[in-house]
Amino acid sequence: MTLAFRPQLTGLPVLETERLVLRAPKAEDWPAFRDYRASPRTVYAGGVKKEQQAAEQFASFFGHWVMRGFGRLIAEERATGQPVGHFGPMQWEDAGQVELTWSLWTAAAEGRGLATEAARAMHNWVFGPLGLTSAKAEVHRDNAASHAIARRLGGRLAPDQRPVWMEEGAIYLFSGAAA
């Protein structure tokens, strides 16, 4: 049935890159996110999640925007119109440091520099219009692709810090410089 109302996020930025549009998450992104969350691609991001947990995480994307005024954007490939991943700052704890996150949802999106392209746009928005002055990223020891992105964004490894939830992880610190 068609409803007379449509709950949605409004007022979010749209970031345009050569091959991608980073835009507000929407309900229609759910199947692609669910499939990503059920795939082995999540090995460095907390592992495979049951559909119920994946749905909570997905819903939290929207709630996070409302609560904090920032959050994850969905990268859509211009050529296909398909969502290929999520990119954005996240802050679960009121006093916690903002974390930059990036994830490509499918293997088909890999190997073409899309993650770097999206992460760079996200980073420039975070330290530009959004006005943050520091952030971190948490990267699994074996996630070589993400280590490369963190370095390209100007991240500095914090050798003495470990992510709370990921013992085998490293923390990069960002200040907005050199990206």
* Residue 121 CB neighbours (<10 A): 21
**Residue holding tokens 């999106």?**
109
By the rule CB under 8 A, 35 interacts with another protein: no
What's the closest the beta carbon of residue 53 comes to another protein, in angstroms?
8
Sequential DSSP letters for 71-135: -PEEEEETTT--EEEEEEEE--STTSPPEEEEEE--GGGTTSSHHHHHHHHHHHHHHTTT----E
Name the residue nearer to another protein (CB basis): 105 or 146: 105
One residue of 16, 39, 43, 51 binding another protein per CB under 8 A: 51
Q: Which stretch binds another protein (CB under 8 A): 7-15, 107-115, 143-151, 169-177?
A: 7-15
By the rule CB under 8 A, 55 interacts with another protein: yes
Name the residue nearer to another protein (CB basis): 5 or 79: 5
- List interacting residues with another protein (CB under 8 A): 1, 3-12, 25-27, 30, 50-52, 54-56, 58-67, 69-70, 92-94
